Structure 1
Amino acid sequence: MVPSFFFAVLPLLFTAALSQGFPNPRPCTGACNVRDPGLVRRTSDGSYFLFSTHEKIKYASAKQLEGPWTAVGSVVPQGSKIDLAGKNDLWAPDVFKLGDRYHVYYSVSTLGSQTSAIGLATSPDLKPGTWTDHGSIGVESDPSKPYNAIDGNLFVEGNTVRLNFGSYWHNIFQVRMNGDGTKATSNPTQIAYEPAGNHAIEGSYMYKHGGAYYLFYSIGLAGHYDDNKPAPGQEYRIKVCKSSSPTGGFVGPAGKPCTKGGGMLVMASHGDVYGPGGQGVLTHPEHGPVLYYHYTNTTIGWSNSQQRFGWNPLDFSSGWPVAKP
């Protein structure tokens, strides 16, 4: 049961924030073409590492979020140990330091397929050539399942390790993981669902702030805008729900459950920015919570390969995340 205070939002603050429109992304220079970005700050020296779909999970590094970003290489240069179609074209990296290892969770699938699996590669220091591919973490799907096993996102609190995942079908699910984050140890449970249309939500990312758990996710058509531009408002955009528990009860500002299409819009198309999504949140030493995502810059090009890395600090003062310039 979600406490009643979660329903008591501050609508005037939301209205004031949203009436100003969405901010443009902060600057990015160097290797800024990414898709489904994963982002981490290395503890040893404070450098940032930015991971991306394709090129067997390519990644780049920089001293600051603005860049300049310099290409480093690929996480799984030989392709995944998971023997499924798509093992040489890996998607949706999620990166997290667990213990003394950096974990990158990746997806093995093909477009529109439900025959999918989530894999894991680890490294002690994020340097090229130091990655070990562990193959499947036991989160897999086929047409008999209600979910699609892609878009994994690790969430760790104390000694409890969870993984959120899912795309289309019945949307976002969660499993418990073992202590070192290498294997799922429970059956999946649903935590978010869009009942309308073809259930186009995916790419979940959980973030804790001020005692509340925020579930960010992408909704709409993700890309291929050069070949298949969707109807206005149906392109990628970022929404969020929140709960007092990491395991469920997520709602939008008006109390509508996230399992029934609830949620608040955090970022959407505006100006030259089109189809933002594939998001995550990083706690930055200067800016605090930072929303990062990919987007299409309409002045540059509409193809997936031209999508860019965007980021904005988040303001949680209303109880809900609002992107700042």
Structure 2
Amino acid sequence: MLVTVSCSKEEPGTDDAPGPSLPDQGEDGGNPEPPDNSIDFSAITDTYHHVAGADNVYSWGLYNSHDPSIIKEGDTYYSYSTDVSFGSEIRPGIQIRKSRNLVEWSFVGWVFDGLPQRGREFIESKGGDPFDALWAPYAMKVGDEYRLYYSLSSPTPRLSVIGLATSDSPLGPWEEQGLVVTSQADNTRQTNAIDPTVVVTPGNEHWFYYGSAWDGIYYFKLNPSTGLPENPGTKGTRIAQRGFTGGIVNGNIEGPEVIYHEEQDKYYMFIAYDWLQTKYNVRVGRSDSPDGPFLDYNGNNINTEMDNLPMILAPYQFNGHSGWQGVSHPSVFSDDKGQYYMAHQGRPGENSYFMVLHVRKMHWTEDGWPVVSPERYAAVEQEGIAEEDLVGSYEQIILGYQVVPGYAEEQTSPDFQTSINLELNADGSINGDSDNHWSYEAPWLTMEFSNGYTDKLYVEWGRDWENNVDKTILFTGLNNDGTAIWAKKIN
């Protein structure tokens, strides 16, 4: 059995022995990264019994990673994530990892030496006992200052707090600056004060979003110079919620991530739907303004009582693999060349308590919707793909969805979206059917079907992780109903 702590609640376990309180070992954490050109993919496994425990923390790399928030400084990416460990307790403090290639990661320490004082004292002042773990951080850089928003909760329903700490280095030391927003176990209408994110407008307005379950996702403005609320004590206003079936909410909504995309001149809100250990998936809405309304693929306001499209990432299973579930609570970030990525936890189908950091490339469709790669990023060199290269056999995944209202007890199945066979024929037909045809204008593949569906898919090279193939062709995109379509070439 095991103990982990998630961004929403403590998961079941029987190991009550606390892990060692390990010191920060400095920038390299005693485990320097290998050069970028020597990635050992055989060392990246779905499960990690051999290093799972707290005594192996500096060998974790991308393991035991949950709710990441990633920033780039110079040639290095830094990931800040929830306090979790498979099979043992781990000291609290917000875990820090770093990488230069987004594939191999080194564990380098913690933000805090325990629970931050101001957050802990707030929960205790309300008669609560805080969890011995920090959840769902959000990191950003403002000028020369690094800001880290943390979540601290308790077994008392909705007794939670989001606080702010700052540093002049991505590795700290960090100093608490104050509480940003709190929530209590009372009758007020508010969401749970966890899962923060911030977006900065071209005019340097700072907007803060947060929330899990309860009443959805909330937002308010920050003071850009302090990172604290413009109006102290505000709880904000709801900006997103879920649909209901038979009076029961369709599932959790949490973990917002909001970005401004300069080229699209749009604000995008990425949201985690459903239970984090199983059906966890990513939805997205977009807006012309940081205060909304954010609209979905069909033009619906995501603050109405309905579930929204597109769903661009969900539990999936390619042939011969146990699959990946719990694939949400995304961090969306870019490099210095305008390439966007999405990072999130992935839990293997064979054991949903393992948590592995996934990073995927992102692309924008011609009408401005984000899509993510069907495979994890592997630093595969990109070169031209000709039309004749596309002819062949593929495994295709259509990201469908089945509503299962409720939370952990109801959403026990990950609802894996499984692969089906796809054949692109040299004569332009699909699966040997001349009524269905494909065409290609790099980098976009168009597949038109006689049943009225049209898939518009971005084509690139990537790694086939399931079959240990270093380089193959990948597709990702949406059809004309806003359903995400993935594929990888296998022959």
- TM-score using structure 1 length: 0.81
Quote the residue 1:270 is aligned against. 316
In the alignment, residue 151 of structure 2 is paired with which amino acid?
S
Give the distance between the partners of 2:281 and 2:359, measured in 1 at CA: 14
In the alignment, the residues of structure 2 paired with residue 112 and residue 204 of structure 1 have an alpha-carbon distance, to the nearest angstrom, of 23
- CA shift at 1:115, angstroms? 1.0
Equivalent of 1:39 in 56, 70, 86: 70
1:287–1:313 distance in 2 versus 1, CA, 3 Å: farther
The answer to whether the Cα contact below 8 Å between 2:199 and 2:260 also exists between their aligned partners in 1 is: no
Q: Is the 8 A contact 1:76 1:133 kept in 2?
A: no
In structure 1, which of residues 160, 172, 176 is the aligned counterpart of residue 205 of structure 2?
Answer: 160
2:369 equivalent among 313, 320, 323:
320
Q: Secondary structure at the match of 1:117?
A: strand
Q: Is the 8 A contact 2:189 2:215 kept in 1?
A: no
Name the CA distance, whole Å, in 2 between partners of 1:181 and 1:195: 36
Partner of 1:295 in structure 2? 346
Answer with 1 or 2: which has the greater Rg.
2
Cα 1:87–1:221 change in 2 (3 A) is closer
Asked if the contact 2:111/2:171 (under 8 Å) is kept, the reply is no
The residue correspondences of 1:173-184 to structure 2 (distance < 5 A) are: 173-184=218-229
Which digits, 9 at most, give the CA deviation of each residue in 1:191-248, with x for residues without a partner?
A: 101132335100001112211111001000012x6xxxxxxxxx11111011111101
Does the CA-based 8 Å contact 2:130-2:155 persist in structure 1?
no
Specify the code of the residue in structure 2 equivalent to 1:284: D
- Identify if the C-alpha distance between structure 1 residues 294 and 111 changes in structure 2 by more than 3 Å, giving closer, same or farther: farther
* 3-state SS, counterpart of residue 259 of structure 1: coil
Matches within 5 A, 1:41-60: 41-42=72-73, 45-54=74-83, 55-60=92-97
Check the 8 A contact 1:56/1:89 in 2, yes or no: yes
2:352 maps to amino acid: W
Counterpart AA for 2:197: N
Query: Are positions 1:134 and 2:177 aligned together?
Result: yes
User: Is 1:63 paired with 2:100?
Assistant: yes
Q: In the superposition, relative to structure 1, how do residues 146 and 119 fare at CA in structure 2: closer, same or farther (>3 Å)? A: same
Partner of 2:358: 310
Moved more, 77-86 or 243-252: 77-86
**Superposed displacement of residue 74, structure 1:** 0.9
Counterpart residue identity of residue 212, structure 1: K
CA-to-aligned-CA distance 1:78-117 (integer Å, 9 cap, x gap): 3112122336411001110012111111111135721111
Q: Which moved more, 1:260-269 or 1:238-247?
A: 260-269
- TM-score normalised to structure 2 length: 0.55
Q: 1:107 to 1:167 in 2, by over 3 A?
A: same
1-structure distance, mates of 2:369, 2:205: 25
By relative contact order (CA 8 Å, sep 6+), the higher-ranking structure is 1
Q: Is the 8 A contact 1:277 1:293 kept in 2?
A: yes
Matched, 1:79 2:115: yes
Report deviation, 1:50: 0.9
Matched, 1:280 2:348: no
Q: How does 1:162-311 map to 2 (within 5 A)?
A: 162-186=207-231, 187=234, 188-196=236-244, 197-198=248-249, 200-209=252-261, 210-223=264-277, 235-260=279-304, 261=306, 262-271=308-317, 272-286=323-337, 288-299=339-350, 301-303=351-353, 306-311=354-359
Amino acid at match of 1:200: N
Superposed displacement of residue 275, structure 1: 1.8
Aligned length: 281
Are the aligned partners of 1:117 and 1:149 in contact in 2 as well (CA < 8 Å)?
yes
Amino acid at match of 1:131: W
Q: Unaligned stretches of 5+ in structure 2?
A: 1-40, 45-59, 84-91, 124-128, 318-322, 376-491
**Letter in structure 2 aligned against 1:274:** Q
Q: 1:292 & 1:152 partners in 2: Cα distance?
A: 16
Quick one: which amino acid aligns to residue 182 of structure 2?
E
Distance of 2:364 and 2:156 partners within structure 1: 35
Separation in structure 1 between the aligned mates of residue 295 and residue 131 of structure 2, nearest angstrom = 36
Query: 1:120-143 deviations in whole A, cap 9, x for unaligned?
Result: 121111225x11122412x11113
Q: Distance in 2 between matches of 1:280 and 1:38?
A: 5
For residue 151 of structure 1, the aligned residue among 179, 191, 195 is 195
